[in-house]
Amino acid sequence: MKELAGQTILVTGASGGIGADISDSRSCADLKSKVMNRQGRIDILANNAGINRRGNLLALTEDDWHASFAVNLNSMFYLCRAVIPHMIEAGGGAIVNTASQWGLYPAPNHIAYNATKAAVASFTQNLARDYAPHKIRVNAVCPGEIHTPMLEAGVMRAGKTIADRRWCADMKSNAFRPLMLSVMPA
């Protein structure tokens, strides 16, 4: 991590720091301004905030659908739009967007989450192509399941436990089994 020493990284989805409603464009612009005022620059933007509203097309509410897009995708649009002009002026930067394996290989009964994370992958590819000439690297990570309170709550709602491998088999088709891994956050 020596290469990150002295750099300013704006991370969303963290448990502390500057509070902001990242689903609101003005709040994202204000967040960027607060970080710039405190640090003088933003070298890296890590878009990591996310929510998972469980349900298939007929079970999911419109509010759940809109909330999923607001947090999982729109927030990235707002923050990238706020930060990229600064990165261009600074001569470059890096953006890391958190997508999901479920954006590439959708899990059942998670239509909003799956759709938003697929959109994040496409959004990231577009930004990477558009801003590479400005020396802005844009990448996505597509993690599998991470043992977080959000995952634990979903598993408990299903009446299962993380250790219940049968639950994993029920949730995933055979195509997912090679990918089936639940990891602990650092």
Q: Catalytic one among 78, 105, 113, 131?
A: 113
Distances (CA, A) of 174 to 55, 85, 135: 21, 44, 40
Directed axis angle between helix 75-90 and helix 25-39, to 10°? 40
Q: Cβ distance 44 to 96 under 8 Å? A: yes
Counts for the chain of helices (H) and strands (E), in that order = 7, 6
Catalytic residue status for 78: no
Contacts of residue 103, Cβ cutoff 8 Å, sequence gap at least 6: 114, 116, 117, 118, 119, 120, 121, 142
Contacts of residue 129, Cβ cutoff 8 Å, sequence gap at least 6: none
Catalytic positions are 113
